Structure 1
Amino acid sequence: MVTHESGRAQSWADCDADVREYVLGAVRAAGLADAWVYVHGSLAMGCFYRAKSDVDLLVVVPEALTPVERERVARGFAGTAAARPVLGDLEVSVLTRAQAATHEHPRPYEVHYSAMWTDAILEGRLDYTGSGEDPDLAAHLTVVRKRGVAVSGPAPDEVFAPVPYADYRAAVAADLDDVLTGDALLESPYYGVLNACRVLATQEPDTVLSKEEGALWAREHLPPEHQAIVEQALSCYRNAELLSAKERDTDGHDWDAAALLSFRDWVLTQV
């Protein structure tokens, strides 16, 4: 098993100054300085690692945006990507106060930004004439209500409507389906293993864990034959070594394909 020197686990309260300024600067660049901004995901749950983690944000605006405003917001976020201080990019959903306060599944939103959309946004290939819907928001909103951090605005549980646990589980299970399809786990092994552990833990009621916490849960609950691959995934997730974007998915080294596929097959019997 490849082991690594661990980086510093960070939260929004104690994150590196350049990470904080990047987040705040991106919000300003998107023209959302007066909006309510919430951190969820690893940076909220104290397991943000510079070499691996993305920055997850939810932004709440007073009312629906015009198509011109949606494009301005998307371009603002996309335009900051090249100057980000970490390999991981922002993942942002912008909702109106009404969208935040009213549960629907999938949940409508005004704007979404993540690394996979950067080029399309900057090249003007997206349509901004209507709002979208995203089933993943059931997971994001569950996390932000339970463990999120308000950068600005009221407390998360005062802004975001509760999400039925069944909808939360459906959202994380759909993400897991992508991980477990075919040989996808071989392409993104540490993310896939840790995500699978996190989803398995959701079978215990009202359980909302980070990927790192999912691995710690797995130490106590998974069969011995799968413990080594979980420890490998956790070590890679925490790895302090700075990698290229091409190396990020595999942590820059080979994995035991047989162990990964055995883990995949066992998880499929559980979910």
Structure 2
Amino acid sequence: MKKGLTADSLEIKEFLHGLIRKMHLELESRIVGVYLHGSLAMGGFNPARSDIDLLVVTDVPVGMAEKQKLVSLFLEQSGNPFPVEVSFLNVSQLVEWKFPTPYDFHFSEYWRDRYELDVAQGTNVCLDGEEKYDIDLAAHITILNHRGICIEGRPIHEIFPTVPKADYLSSILDDYADCLEGIPEKPVYSMLNLIRVYWYLKEGEICSKKEAGVWGAENLPAKFGATVEKGLAVYTGEKMEVQFHETELKQLRDYINGKVESFGI
């Protein structure tokens, strides 16, 4: 593994190498490369809250039988002990940039229940043969190009195209809209993502949620400092739980949204 892993990196390395070895065994398609993005690549990984974010590129499209094997593999491996979010793409999908971006297979803990239901019923509802598209991949690939790690295979710059800034912005704004509504239910995730979008618009910074929290605590008006610091403490694992008042969350949300809208968004 290349540099960029922190904290329990030995355990993470062993987990990743074991997972990748099993992916090779399950796939007839040749793996061109395995790439790490997200918090683990950017030094903000918290095993209690973070996913290991991967992009896997194959030489040809992943077939249905292979997808079924991947479902079983990730149902077994994800969360044991680290949750995994992974997307499989083939090289032909990356020759010309498309937005939203096509992909062959995706797994995350968010999809676990649906995959488990498919397995239990012997169906393939989540694995139909139609090509799928994901607006989030524009953000994932942008982060990969700027801050990512090639675990194995061809270098990042040889495989992944440059994502137009407009598509990256559309990608992060899609999640931003959910965070505006969801901040009462998911305060830590939402506030850090809102700050991340604002920082990008203000200074062009592509950052992790942890980095966004540090920047927000230092650069937002002082009245928001304590709120952001509480969220950051939970996200980094310094504290297990804190209490947020609905008013402080809404005030922070409305302040950031006003600043974001001032950019013409």
Q: Would you call these one fold, judging by a TM-score over 0.5? A: yes
Residue 257 of structure 1: CA displacement?
Answer: 1.8
Q: Which residue of 2 aligns with 1:55?
A: 52
Query: Cα RMSD (Å) of the superposition?
Result: 2.1
Alignment of 1:52-201 (within 5 A): 52-81=49-78, 84-86=80-82, 89-124=83-118, 125-181=125-181, 184-201=182-199
Alignment match, 1:4: none
Q: Is the 8 A contact 1:142 1:168 kept in 2?
A: yes
Q: CA deviation at 1:122?
A: 2.8
Aligned match for 2:22, one of 20, 24, 29: 29
SS in 2 for 1:94: strand
Stretch deviating more after TM superposition (115-124 or 37-46): 115-124
Q: Which structure 2 residue ranges, 5 or more long, are not aligned?
A: 119-124, 261-265
Structure 1 segments unaligned to the other structure (5+ residues): 1-9, 242-250
CA deviation vs aligned residue, 1:223-258 (integer Å, no higher than 9, x gap): 2221111111111111156xxxxxxxxx54422221
1:38 counterpart = 2:35: yes
User: Cα offset for 1:260?
Assistant: 0.7
Query: Is residue 235 of structure 1 aligned with residue 233 of structure 2?
Result: yes
Structure 2 counterpart of 1:72, which letter?
Answer: K
Name the SS of the counterpart of 1:263 in structure 2: helix
Q: 1:254–1:204: structure 2 CA closer, same or farther, 3 Å change rule?
A: closer
The code of the aligned residue for 1:100 comes to L
Using the aligned pairs only, state the percent identity: 32
Is 1:17 aligned to 2:17, yes or no? no
Secondary structure at the aligned position of 2:36 is classed as: strand
Tell me the alpha carbon deviations over residues 21-56 of structure 1, each in whole angstroms, 9 at most, x when there is no partner: 222323333425952100000111111112221110
TM-score (ref. length: structure 2) = 0.86
Q: Secondary structure at the match of 2:161?
A: coil
Equivalent residue pairs, number: 248
Could you tell me which amino acid in structure 2 is paired with residue 154 of structure 1? Answer: R
